[in-house]
Amino acid sequence: MVKVDLSGAEQFFTAAGPDYALAELAHKTLMNGSGLGADFIGWLELPRRIKETELQEILDTAKLIRSRSKALVVIGIGGSYLGARGAIELLRPIPGKDDPKVFFIGNGLSADALCDTLDMLGDVDFDVNVISKSGTTLEPAASFRIFRGLLEKKYGSKADEHIFATTDARKGVLKSVADRQGWKTFVVPDDVGGRFSVLSAVGLLPMAVAGIDVEKVIDCAIEEFKSLSVPSKENPAWQYAAARQSLYGKGYSVEILGCYEPSFRFMAEWWKQLYGESEGKDHKGIFPASVEFTADLHSMGQFIQEGPRNLMESIVRFTESRRAYIFPEDGENADGLNYLAGRDMADICRVAADAVKQAHISGGVPNIVIEVKKRDEAGFASLVCFFEMACAISGYMSGVNPFNQPGVEAYKKNMFRMLGKPGAM
Ligand code: PA5
C-alpha cells in the first residue's frame, strides 16, 4: 500500500481540517454502489475478474507477439492508451533485448507524428493492438485504417492474424468489423470507463508485450483493492481525498503532481486524465498539472515558489531506488563537487527532495507526499489502485459524478461538422 504523508499540508488546511466523515460517506457510497454513475464502478472488481477470465489469453497473445514481431503498434487515445504507456515508461524505460518496441499512435491527429512513427517502424515484422471502447473515436480509427493497410500490404491474406482489437463486448463499429474479419478481440467491460481501464486488457496486453509481469500486477492489485476497501482514517485513499478537498476549500485550486523519476512522466499524464475528467465538471474541480523534478525546478520552480498561491503539490516518492551510483572523488576537485564524493546519487536526490519540500512549504505551497516502495510491478499496482480509489472518493466528496465525461462531446460536434462528416450538424 502507498503511504500518504500530510505533515507538509496540515498548516494549510481549512480550520476544520480534512473531512474524514465525508470521506467515509463517499467511500461507503462507492463501495455499496449507491452513488452517481454507479454503473461504472466495475474497475473495483477488475483485477479479480480479469484473473478469472481473459488473463491467460492476454499472456498467450503477448507470447505470440513477442515471439514473431519486433514491434507492437498500440492505437488508442485517452484512457485507451495512457495507462499502458505510463506503465511501460515507468517499468521498462529501456526495452530488454527480446522486447518488441511498443509504438503509441492514434492519440492525436498530427501528420508529423504519424509519419515519424511510420518511419521508426520501418519494415520490421509487427502486430497492431487497436483499442477503443466505443469503437468510433476519430483519432484511433483514422490511424487504424492506415496501419491496417500497411499490414495488408505486408502480410496479404494473413494480415488479420496480426490485428488484436480491444473494444466493447457487443457494440460499435470496431467490434462488428473485428467479428467479420475474425480478429482476436479483448473486452473493455461495460461497467468500466476508459480512464479506469488500465487493469483490463486495455493496459495489460501492451504491458505484457513490453515484458511487464502482468500476473504480478494483477495479484498485487487484488490485495491493494482489498486493503483500500477498509473504512478507516488510516486508509490512504481517504487521507489523500480528504486532504485535497480541504485544501480546495481554502482556494488551492491547482494540484501539481511531481516525481523525481523521469520515467514517471506518463504516469502523471494518466493521473491528469483520471482526475481531470473525473472531477472537472459542474464548474468545479481541482486542475491537475504535473512536473518532473528536479528538471522542472529550473523551469517551473520560480512559479511554484513565488507565483499565485493557489497551488498544492503532491509528490510521488519511491523509497527504494532501483539502482545505485556512487558519486566519484576527483583528485583536482576543479568543479568543487568533492563534498558529494562517496555518496549514492539516490541519496543526493533524496536530500534534494527534502530541501525542495521545505522551500515550497515555506513559500506557501501545501505538500502531500505519496510514498511507494519500489518502481516495480507491485509499486505500479499500488499507485493505480490508490489513485483510482482516491479519485472516486474525492469526486463524491465534491458532489460530482466521477465516472462520466459529458464535456468531451462539445469539440467533437464542431470537428465533425467542420470536417464534413455525413449527418453531423
Ligand atoms: O476515459 C475515457 O472514457 C476517455 O478518455 C476515453 O478513453 C477516450 O475518449 C477514448 O475513447 P474510446 O476508447 O471509446 O476510443
- CA dihedral of residues 356, 358, 363, 368 (deg, nearest 10): 80
**Does pLDDT of 57 surpass 80?**
yes
Q: Are 208 and 58 in contact (CB under 8 A)?
A: yes
Q: What is the DSSP string of 262-306?
A: GGGHHHHHHHHHHHHHHH-BTTB-PEEEEEETTGGGGTTHHHHHH
**Whose C-alpha lies nearest to ligand 1, atom 15?**
132
Atom of ligand 1 nearest to the CA of 195: 1
* CA neighbor of 237 nearest in space, from 28, 12, 13, 54: 28
Q: Which three cell numbers stand for residue 238?
A: 481517504
Instruction: Let me know how long the chain is.
Output: 425
Out of 40, 80, 272, mutate this one to test ligand 1's pocket (max ligand atoms within 8 Å of CB): namely 80
Catalytic choice (224, 277, 279, 388): 277
Between the CA of 402 and the centroid of ligand 1 the distance, in Å, is 14
Percent of the chain scoring above 70 in pLDDT? 100
Q: What is the pLDDT of residue 162?
A: 98
- Mean pLDDT score of the chain: 96
Q: Establish whether 298 is a catalytic residue.
A: yes
**Three-point CA angle 149, 152, 158, nearest 5°:** 150
Q: What is the pLDDT of residue 415?
A: 87
The CA-atom distances, in angstroms, between 19 and each of 152, 233, 396, 398 are 58, 10, 13, 11
* CA neighbor of 203 nearest in space, from 100, 320, 78, 42: 78
Q: What is the pLDDT of residue 409?
A: 79
Q: What is the pTM of this model?
A: 0.96
Between the CA of 187 and the centroid of ligand 1 the distance, in Å, is 14
* CA neighbor of 272 nearest in space, from 260, 284, 254: 254
Q: Are 75 and 130 in contact (CB under 8 A)?
A: yes
**Whose C-alpha lies nearest to ligand 1, atom 9?**
78
Out of 131, 137, 270, 271, mutate this one to test ligand 1's pocket (max ligand atoms within 8 Å of CB): namely 137
Between the CA of 351 and the centroid of ligand 1 the distance, in Å, is 40
Interatomic CA distance for residues 73 and 76, integer angstroms: 10
Between the CA of 136 and the centroid of ligand 1 the distance, in Å, is 10
Interatomic CA distance for residues 100 and 95, integer angstroms: 8
**Whose C-alpha lies nearest to ligand 1, atom 3?**
194
Q: What is the pLDDT of residue 291?
A: 98
Confidence of residue 424 (pLDDT cuts 50, 70, 90): confident
Between the CA of 146 and the centroid of ligand 1 the distance, in Å, is 20
Q: What is the pLDDT of residues 369-397, one digit of tens each?
A: 999 999 999 999 999 999 999 999 999 99
Q: What is the pLDDT of residue 413?
A: 83
Q: Which three cell numbers stand for residue 419?
A: 470536417
Between the CA of 165 and the centroid of ligand 1 the distance, in Å, is 15
Atom of ligand 1 nearest to the CA of 79: 7
Over range 95-108, report the average pLDDT: 95
Confidence of residue 273 (pLDDT cuts 50, 70, 90): very high
Q: Are 132 and 174 in contact (CB under 8 A)?
A: yes
Interatomic CA distance for residues 43 and 320, integer angstroms: 29
Q: What is the pLDDT of residue 24?
A: 98
**Three-point CA angle 191, 84, 122, nearest 5°:** 130
Q: What is the pLDDT of residues 347-374, one digit of tens each?
A: 999 999 999 999 999 999 999 999 999 9
Q: Which three cell numbers stand for residue 387?
A: 489513485
Q: Which three cell numbers stand for residue 213?
A: 509481469
Q: What is the pLDDT of residues 403-418, one digit of tens each?
A: 998 888 788 888 888 8
Atom of ligand 1 nearest to the CA of 172: 14
Q: Which three cell numbers stand for residue 317?
A: 516518492
**Whose C-alpha lies nearest to ligand 1, atom 12?**
132
Out of 133, 144, 167, mutate this one to test ligand 1's pocket (max ligand atoms within 8 Å of CB): namely 133
Instruction: Provide the angle, in degrees to the nearest 10, between the axes of the packed helices 82-91 and 377-397.
Output: 140
Strands (E), 40-194: 71-75, 101-105, 126-132, 163-167, 184-187
Catalytic choice (226, 412, 413, 421): 412
Interatomic CA distance for residues 224 and 297, integer angstroms: 33
Catalytic choice (52, 298, 332, 409): 298
Per-residue DSSP letter, 96: -
**Whose C-alpha lies nearest to ligand 1, atom 5?**
78
Between the CA of 197 and the centroid of ligand 1 the distance, in Å, is 10
Residues within 6 Å of ligand 1 by CB: 77-80, 132-134, 137, 140, 193-195, 277, 405
Interatomic CA distance for residues 229 and 223, integer angstroms: 10
Q: Are 229 and 31 in contact (CB under 8 A)?
A: yes
Out of 134, 136, 175, mutate this one to test ligand 1's pocket (max ligand atoms within 8 Å of CB): namely 134
Q: What is the DSSP string of 359-414?
A: HHHHTT--EEEEEES-SSHHHHHHHHHHHHHHHHHHHHHTTS-TT--GGGHHHHHH
**Does pLDDT of 425 surpass 80?**
no
Atom of ligand 1 nearest to the CA of 78: 5
Q: Which residue has the cell 461495460?
A: 190
CB count within 10 Å of CB 182 equals: 10
Q: What is the pLDDT of residues 176-234, one digit of tens each?
A: 999 999 999 999 999 999 999 999 999 999 999 999 999 999 999 999 999 999 999 99
Q: Establish whether 277 is a catalytic residue.
A: yes
* CA neighbor of 103 nearest in space, from 273, 112, 111, 113: 113
Percent of the chain scoring above 90 in pLDDT? 93
Atom of ligand 1 nearest to the CA of 77: 10
Confidence of residue 300 (pLDDT cuts 50, 70, 90): very high
Q: End-to-end CA distance of the chain, in Å? A: 49
Q: Higher confidence at residue 348 or residue 52?
A: 348
Q: What is the pLDDT of residue 412?
A: 82
Q: How many helices and strands (H and E) does the chain possess?
A: 15, 10
The CA-atom distances, in angstroms, between 9 and each of 21, 222, 351 are 19, 30, 19
Between the CA of 76 and the centroid of ligand 1 the distance, in Å, is 8
Q: Higher confidence at residue 11 or residue 423?
A: 11
In a 13 Å sphere around the CA of 374, the CA atoms on its Cβ side amount to: 6
Over range 64-71, report the average pLDDT: 98
